[in-house]
Amino acid sequence: MSKYYLSDIADFISDKIEFSSIELDKYISTDNMLPNFNGVTLSTVEPSLNKCTKFKAGDTLFSNIRTYFKKVWFADFDGGCSPDVIVMRTKNEEFVLHEFLYLLICSEDFINFTVMSSNGAKMPRGDKKAMLKYEFEIPSIEEQKIAINHYFKIKEKIQLNTQINQTLEQIAQALFKSWFVDFDPVHAKVQALSDGLTLEQVELAAMQAISGKTPEELTALSQTQPDRYAELAETAKAFPYEIVEVDGVEVPKGWEVKRIDEVIQKIPVGKKYSSKTAFSEGLVPILDQGRSGVIGYHNNKPGVKASIEDPIIVFANHTCYMRLISYDFSAIQNVFAFKGKECNLYWLYLATLGKQEFVEYKGHFPDFLIKEIVVPPEELTALFGKYVKESFSKIFINDRENSNLAKIRDLLLPKLLNGEFIR
């Protein structure tokens, strides 16, 4: 194989596009690029940009801030990206395939080179000129195709798991909104009472609102799955029959409006770590701010014990990112862990999700804690937890499978690039 500079095989694209001409879900920034080559997620914050860099499906996008996070994405749609994302495109696909360029950029040697040649202390950025002088060995097109096939099979499975997880959480969010934001079961009871129906019919109306089933379907369910029907009836009874005003807010009768700090219990995360005290391998993952996720490992006792059956909510103070963690972990500075005092954890996660408000150069956790949420009785949060627990358990299992697949992928890549599995 012959060696070529990156500048010989790829261009850094600088074409611009009006931000107003693209949808927000087609915008990529360093914030919604996932670490460790795990793709991208939807952008939730609209940037203050008039124009952004234009990219096309098949381009390789490289986050040029803190390149050790390994945020690299092979674009599967056209869109626009922030100035801190480098768009790379193959000069000649008859010489280097688009997918193979992505593999080259994901290589550990190239990532390490960008880290070593970065400029800046607090927010180190990769040196573009230095990158263009980096040398790669380029195999034949046939060898490239074989390498791509091996690598992308694993990549696609990771992507599928990620998409499944996003769908499962969206389903849980939709159920939460129906019960605790729109109060659908309560409104169904209120309407049924207003229509002069019997209490039995009122409960049936709430069961319909919860399950989305017709009265006939509920009758069939009582015969075919009596346990499920009984659980549904129990859930319906837990909702009140009236909407009242509490502190100027309309809520179901018996529910309260509380500050977040009244319903959560902060969990100490033990010794604080940093990227300087983290190892590339180890027993205990170290969590960084936001979507950066795991920045390294250590071999001491974990700061927090967690599991699929007993997960923990984590809040990143600088980025206002919140997530559920189902494995033992430690954390860097300004990463907070918490559970609920007298409420189900899954309910608490969805009730507080979205209450984080990012303001640049400001600490966010104190402001987060004083936000108000509508709090139902503990019994109802527990019932909700039963409905969504299976979905979140599947999410945790998929996350762990993705973690194992990523290790296999990263071990495989250098062997594919040097032709070990090709010849």
State residue 120's pLDDT score. 86
Last residue of a domain, one of 194, 224, 255: 255
pLDDT at 321 over 90: no
Tokens of 44: 């939730």
Tell me if 134 is assigned to some domain: yes
- pLDDT tens for 29-59 read 998 898 889 888 887 777 878 899 999 999 9
Residue 275: φ, ψ to 5°:
-60, -25
- CA nearest to 96, candidates 16, 219, 5: 5
Q: Does residue 108 sit in the same domain as residue 13?
A: yes
Q: Does residue 250 sit in the same domain as residue 283?
A: no
Q: Does residue 242 sit in the same domain as residue 348?
A: no
Q: Does residue 220 sit in the same domain as residue 280?
A: no
Identify which has the larger pLDDT, 259 or 278: 259
Q: Does residue 217 sit in the same domain as residue 280?
A: no
CB 272 within 8 A of CB 260: no
Tell me if 413 is assigned to some domain: no
pLDDT at 248 over 90: no
Tell me if 361 is assigned to some domain: yes
Last residue of a domain, one of 201, 230, 255: 255
- Domain of residue 236: give its range: 182-255
Tell me if 173 is assigned to some domain: no
Identify which has the larger pLDDT, 423 or 141: 141
Tell me if 382 is assigned to some domain: no
Mean pLDDT of the chain: 93
CATH number at residue 77: 3.90.220.20
Tell me if 392 is assigned to some domain: no
Task: Give the strand order in the sheet containing 284-287.
Answer: 272-273, 330-332, 284-287, 294-298
Number of structural domains found in the chain: 3
Tell me the one-letter amino acid at 297.
Answer: Y
Average pLDDT over residues 180-198: 97
* pLDDT-based confidence at residue 410 (cuts at 50, 70, 90): very high
Q: Does residue 328 sit in the same domain as residue 296?
A: yes
Average pLDDT over residues 221-236: 96
Q: Does residue 86 sit in the same domain as residue 210?
A: no
Tell me if 149 is assigned to some domain: no
Tokens of 233: 């009836």
State residue 206's pLDDT score. 97
Q: Does residue 102 sit in the same domain as residue 199?
A: no
* pLDDT-based confidence at residue 190 (cuts at 50, 70, 90): very high
Q: Which of 177-181, 329-333, 359-363, 364-368 has the highest mean pLDDT?
A: 177-181
**Spatial distance between the Cα atoms of 312 and 265, rounded to a whole number of angstroms:** 11
In whole angstroms, how far apart are CA 189 and each of 234, 235, 246, 366, 383? 14, 13, 20, 38, 18
Q: What percent of the chain has pLDDT over 90?
A: 79
- CA nearest to 292, candidates 249, 253, 323: 323
Q: Does residue 7 sit in the same domain as residue 123?
A: yes
Q: Does residue 13 sit in the same domain as residue 121?
A: yes
- pLDDT tens for 261-305 read 999 999 999 899 987 888 888 999 999 876 667 888 999 999 999
Taking phi over 0 as left and psi of -120 to 50 as alpha, with beta for the rest, 88 belongs to beta
State residue 260's pLDDT score. 97
Last residue of a domain, one of 119, 138, 157: 138
State residue 292's pLDDT score. 63
pTM of the model: 0.87
Q: Does residue 247 sit in the same domain as residue 351?
A: no
Tell me if 71 is assigned to some domain: yes
Q: Does residue 38 sit in the same domain as residue 121?
A: yes
